[in-house]
Structure 1
Amino acid sequence: MKRFIGFVTKEFYHIFRDKRTMFILFGMPMVQIMLFGFAITNEVNNVNIAIFDQSKDSETQQIINKISASKYFKIESQITHEAQIESIFRTGKVKAVLVFEKDFIQNLQNKKTAKVQVITDATDPNMANTITNYINAILQNYSQEINTNSKPLYQIQTQTQLYYNPELKSVFTFVPGVMTIILMLVSAMMTSISITREKEMGTMEVLLVSPIKPFQVVIGKVFPYIFLSIINATIILLLGIFVFKMPIEGSLFLLALESILFIITALSLGILISTIAQSQQTAMMFSLAGLMLPVIILSGFIFPISSMPVPLQIISNIIPAKWFIIIIKAIMLKGATIHTIWKETLILIGMTLFFIAVSIKKYKIRLE
């Protein structure tokens, strides 16, 4: 019995000394419960909306104040012309526009009925539905307040208009999202495992002391994966277009360039992981645990980032997938040009250069 107790004690010591095991046992569950608890929600909070008030009377102002006071919406801007609606949606700044008809208060007093149009960006169908339902609930609540001592009853009617995805097809969201996940995981994971394999086998040391420069070693290792990832992206797009009838409103050439940029970003992240990991198993764990959850949860693919706590919104900015999903949706569904998505493109370029620079520096350190 003493030997058995000693053996069990030794196993406990072994587990507690191994930092990776401790992280998997206690760190990962804590990270997952925090992410799932705070990020996964069917509610929307702090959604940016715009107001097009053609009436500009006291009644519409009260409704605007009521909407602004709720935790669900934030008034991003007040627009003055109908033509601004399309342009403000293209920039991605707002998810809905409320249009109050002319003579709103006169119609409400004289005809007992006034109209509010709710225009939503339906590139995310679930969010568009939720926004419409929340606004309808707020307007209904306001109607009940003004009808307390009124007969006949006042009615505020809502008209819904959906931009970019009028049929609310969920596949228009899932094709860009799945493409992003596959490119990120395949590119980053396969690159990190490939380079780590060289380290495990001892051939990386031979390459580092050879006349080939470190950046040439890195580029040579990832070049085949660039080609294979481009084929992957092409297959996904073709399936989306011909099987699921996914539209491409923007430039195919711009879409191809942005996809290649994201592939290079994912590959450079895989290179960085390979400089940290000492084994293929560790590289795979980093790739799956460090990329899978953030890409799915913090990229805006399934859950709206604006509804997450502020710390998670800040963390989401360092997730390359977030910026690529914004880019690909803007090109495919909104017909965006580089003038609209230049900021997101520059962020991906900056991340790529940062990952590559840190990776090359680490390889140089190993060489010295």
Structure 2
Amino acid sequence: MKRFIGFVKKEFYHIFRDKRSLFILFGMPIAQIMLFGFAITNEINNVDIAILDHSKDATTTEIINKISASKYFSIKQMVNSEADIASVFKKGQVKAVLTFEKEFSKNLIKDHKATVQIITDATDPNTANTISNYVNAILQKYQKELNKDLTITYQIVPKTRMVYNPELKGVYMFVPGVMTIILMLVSAMMTSISITREKELGTMEILLVSPIKPLQVIIGKVFPYIFLSVINAVVIVMLSIFIFNMPVQGSFILLGFESVLFIISALALGILISTISATQQTAMMISLMGLMLPVILLSGFIFPISSMPMPLQVISNIIPAKWFIIIVKGIMLKGVGLQIIWKETLILLGMTVFFIALSVKKYKIRLE
């Protein structure tokens, strides 16, 4: 036991002595959560648009003023003709052009119908679709104000209520995903170079001839990073709560337990990479390229898994990040307990045991 404690102390000394590792371990998560939280969002604000008003009457002026007064749009310019629309888009500043038909107000009064054409720059399809939805919402609100004193027979009015994220804040979706990516990449990347560092420094022979068992070596390598990664997780959650107003509807204790479980899973995966890599550079490349793309693309962080082809949906089940994102969203946004997320918890636990067992086996092979 004393040998094991001494081995763990040695690992702590190695970590705190390496300033670059400390920067990666503590600086990168804070920078990433701030960058992702502020920069990555599916919301729009102050999007530049242009107006082509063929009618130029009181009604179109009122609608234009309402659009301009919203925080979502900024009217960049007024377009004189349809021939100018292409040149406006080519400049790259305007993302949409709203075209009001001739005699807009007259048609609205006479025929109870008038047309507003929404022309969007679809080089970014998601933004184009969001702009269209926001404009439609403003027009629907204006239409409702016009009809508030009118009685329409057999009118069916759909009402939508968003639960868990009523304001549709993009940060609610991205914070759990970013938290998962940071813990996975940092934890796996740091531990992936731990054993390969011993090989490159020539100290691996000491471990090979020491009485410390392979399982003790694996646990000793992982333990310091568990402690440091837990600090990272706490910092990420605090930043999410106090800077991005991310709610935590469920239990902090359960969130902490699940975070520790995922951290151990990521660390064990990093140790596995370390045991099969000959150099630190190889281990870093496998960690970054072999983990980053699957975690981002197949975890449900950005793209819904249900929309993917069936083979990719099947492959996503072996990505630990997928299950942790489900757990974090359930606890933070829905307030669920262990009785709801027990299946995901067992899957993470099983993956952790598998990674540790495989790491020990690979380490034993190198002892022979």
CA distance in 2, matches of 1:155, 1:280: 68
Q: In the alignment, is residue 185 of structure 1 matched against residue 166 of structure 2?
A: no
Q: Which deviations, in whole Å up to 9, do the C-alpha atoms of 1:199-256 show, x marking residues without a partner?
A: 2223223202210001111111121111110010000100111111111110010000
- Counterpart of 1:255? 255
Secondary structure, counterpart of 1:157 in structure 2: coil
Q: Following TM superposition, by how much is the alpha carbon of 1:154 offset from its aligned partner in structure 2, in angstroms?
A: 7.1
CA distance in 1, matches of 2:155, 2:346: 48
Secondary structure, counterpart of 2:278 in structure 1: coil
CA distance in 2, matches of 1:289, 1:234: 26
CA distance in 2, matches of 1:309, 1:153: 45
- Counterpart of 2:287? 287
Q: Which deviations, in whole Å up to 9, do the C-alpha atoms of 1:98-124 show, x marking residues without a partner?
A: xxxxxxxxxxxxxxxxxxxxxxxxxxx
Distance 1:309 1:154, change over 3 A: farther
- Counterpart of 1:296? 296
Counterpart AA for 2:231: I
Give the conservation status (yes or no) of the 8 Å contact 2:183–2:266.
yes
RMSD over equivalenced CA pairs, Å? 2.1
- Counterpart of 1:65? none
CA distance in 1, matches of 2:325, 2:156: 36
Q: In the alignment, is residue 277 of structure 1 matched against residue 277 of structure 2?
A: yes
Q: In the alignment, is residue 165 of structure 1 matched against residue 168 of structure 2?
A: no
Give the conservation status (yes or no) of the 8 Å contact 2:179–2:236.
yes
Q: Following TM superposition, by how much is the alpha carbon of 1:277 offset from its aligned partner in structure 2, in angstroms?
A: 1.1
Give the conservation status (yes or no) of the 8 Å contact 2:191–2:221.
yes
Secondary structure, counterpart of 1:248 in structure 2: coil
Secondary structure, counterpart of 1:167 in structure 2: coil
Same amino acid, percent of matched pairs: 77
CA distance in 1, matches of 2:262, 2:229: 10
CA distance in 1, matches of 2:209, 2:359: 17
Counterpart AA for 2:356: I
CA distance in 2, matches of 1:292, 1:182: 10
Counterpart AA for 2:297: I
Counterpart AA for 1:200: E
CA distance in 1, matches of 2:183, 2:208: 28
- Counterpart of 1:346? 346
Q: Which deviations, in whole Å up to 9, do the C-alpha atoms of 1:159-215 show, x marking residues without a partner?
A: 111010101111111111111111000000000012211122232232022100011
- Counterpart of 1:329? 329
Length, aligned pairs only: 223
- Counterpart of 1:38? none
CA distance in 2, matches of 1:367, 1:277: 15
Q: Taking structure 1 as the reference length, what is the TM-score of the superposition?
A: 0.58
CA distance in 1, matches of 2:323, 2:204: 33
- Counterpart of 2:320? 320
Q: Which deviations, in whole Å up to 9, do the C-alpha atoms of 1:40-89 show, x marking residues without a partner?
A: xx9xxxxxxxxxxxxxxxxxxxxxxxxxxxxxxxxxxxxxxxxxxxxxxx
- Counterpart of 1:92? none
Q: Which deviations, in whole Å up to 9, do the C-alpha atoms of 1:264-317 show, x marking residues without a partner?
A: 000000011111111111101100001111111110011101001111111110
Secondary structure, counterpart of 2:245 in structure 1: coil
CA distance in 2, matches of 1:292, 1:155: 51
Q: Following TM superposition, by how much is the alpha carbon of 1:365 offset from its aligned partner in structure 2, in angstroms?
A: 1.4
CA distance in 1, matches of 2:193, 2:367: 20
Q: In the alignment, is residue 241 of structure 1 matched against residue 227 of structure 2?
A: no
- Counterpart of 1:81? none
Give the conservation status (yes or no) of the 8 Å contact 2:180–2:324.
yes
Give the conservation status (yes or no) of the 8 Å contact 2:194–2:271.
no
Q: Give 1:174-213 correspondences, 5 Å limit.
A: 174-213=174-213
Q: Which is higher, the Rg of structure 1 or of structure 2?
A: 2
